[in-house]
Amino acid sequence: MEQIVILDFGSQYTQVIARRIRECNVYSTILRFDTPAAEIAALKPKGLILSGGPSSVYASDAPLPDKAIFKLGIPVLGICYGVQILAQFLGGKVEKGEKREYGKGTLTVADSECALFQGLPKELQVWNSHGDKLTRLPKDFVVVGTTENSNYAAIEHSKKRYFGIQFHPEVVHSPRGKEILANFVHGVCGCGREWTMRNYVEQATEEIRRQVGSDRVILGLSGGVDSSVAAALIHRAIGDQLTCIFVNNGLLRAREAEVVQEVFGRNFKIRLQYEDATKLFLQKLKGVTDPERKRKVIGKAFVDVFQAATKRAGKAKFLAQGTLYPDVIESVPIAGNPAAMIKSHHNVGGLPKNMKFTLLEPLRQLFKDEVRQLGVELGLPKEIVQRQPFPGPGLAVRCLGAITGSKLEILRKSDAIVVEEMKAADLYYKTWQTFAVLLPVRSVGVQGDERTYDFTLAIRAVESQDGMTADWVKVPYDLLEKISTRITNEVRGINRVVLDITSKPPGTIEWE
């Protein structure tokens, strides 16, 4: 399989580079900046990309690659810090800039014949994020692009097929950036367009069969996108050798348990073991109000229930998880590295060491958007594939204060109305997350000529690319009015509805 290797020097955008390459239907792999050249060569990549990063190449503790990467004989593209690596290693010079260059800029293409800029206009909007700059080019490099603040914004060594750009083509703020990357992987590296979900299905199916053989597999099915797609893929490969365990912890959304059983048990004919642990979880959560304590109680209870369920499921060698590529990429340990702050949440976490399973992770090469594409290819319904992210602890983190069955029912009914009306307005699948939050606040109201003293419900709707930052969605007033009216009329226990207009930062997406 053709691939492009990306060396990660600590940029918060490294994963974005990988995703953009895959959007060109070319497989990409992220490796640590100091991966030995011999290991890279063993992968037989068609090209190499050096990512950005927060460091300065002239600093004593700067992350530097194996210098032998420049003897691999493959095309190289350096982005931001990556172009400074090119210069530093090949005889150029990098210094602290008199002016830092952050935000939007205009790239003027100095050589329209340059392979990177084929089919692109003379001037391009680009996104900059750097304080250092090139002050002397390495031997045999020429300038192919400039910006307002840099005479060496894009450079090229045509014979060796080395390219360097000071801006970030991978971010949305560089509107034609994906075309620059496509020119590199297709035009310079000669890659085809072989990385498709249809091809991946066949490849992954064969790999699962080879790895599992005649053994059995257990998968903790949550109903979320990752575990659902993993279940469908594994079942396609090995059929009844897979047993899915679905734990109803009583903290699910409306009809979630019914939908999972309908889709996977009756439609896909997957061997599904349903565990109703609602009473146990509510009992364990009784009187617990601290958010972190809630998570720990839920996590431990889940492990206990799941462990007991695996024994009832019968002997199995493999435990399948919906682990994704961002979960397995090793963060570069660089001070100030934003990427090191990203947290991952697995479908099944913290399992005891005495559970002797071999992990099966068929999605570990994929990003979230690719998992959704795979789900479509496998025939999963839209309500599963395109469903919004849902926290591991479920409604417990959206029901503030102490958890009770009655409060959860109020929240569940209210949340269902929010989702239903957002779908009817064709907005649900266009937002990152839309949900209701039950507040531990009672207020006076008047309903049916009677005085009430009931709960307040908050509506949360945000748009985001990856959940790291988020903006609140400007939901139309008439839609908000309809949602509020329905909730106060149809859900007993709510007499006031408010809208959360906080972005992330300073707030978080979830309330707890």
Annotated active-site residue 168? The verdict is yes
**Residue 467 confidence (pLDDT) above 80:** no
What CA–CA distances, in Å, run from 378 to 221, 273, 371, 384?
A: 16, 22, 10, 12
Residue 135: predicted pLDDT: 87
Residue 95: predicted pLDDT: 82
> Sign of the C-alpha dihedral, residues 416, 418, 423, 424?
positive
The per-residue pLDDT for range 328-375, each reduced to its tens digit, is: 775 555 544 433 333 333 333 445 566 689 999 999 989 888 999 999
Residue 336: predicted pLDDT: 41
Annotated active-site residue 101? The verdict is no
Mean pLDDT over residues 71-87, rounded?
95
Lowest mean pLDDT among 59-63, 321-325, 332-336: 332-336
Token pair of 164, please?
């360097």
How far is it, in rounded angstroms, from Cα 220 to Cα 325? Answer: 19
Catalytic annotation, pick one of 130, 168, 186, 235: 168
- Within a 10 A sphere around the Cβ of 294, how many other Cβ atoms? 21
For the chain, which domains are there? Answer: 3-188 (3.40.50.880), 197-385 (3.40.50.620), 398-499 (3.30.300.10)
How far is it, in rounded angstroms, from Cα 27 to Cα 21? Answer: 7
What CA–CA distances, in Å, run from 267 to 85, 373, 379?
A: 54, 20, 11
Beta strands of 36-171 (E only): which ranges?
Answer: 47-50, 76-79, 93-109, 123-136, 142-147, 150-157, 162-165
Annotated active-site residue 80? The verdict is yes
Residue 353: predicted pLDDT: 60
The per-residue pLDDT for range 169-217, each reduced to its tens digit, is: 998 889 999 999 999 999 999 999 999 999 999 999 999 999 999 999 9
Residue 97: predicted pLDDT: 66
**pLDDT grade for 407, boundaries at 50, 70 and 90:** very high
Average confidence score pLDDT of the chain: 91
Catalytic annotation, pick one of 101, 156, 170, 512: 170
Coil, strand or helix at 52: coil
The per-residue pLDDT for range 210-269, each reduced to its tens digit, is: 999 999 999 999 888 999 999 999 999 999 999 999 999 999 999 999 999 999 988 899
Residue 172: predicted pLDDT: 85
Catalytic annotation, pick one of 2, 24, 80, 114: 80
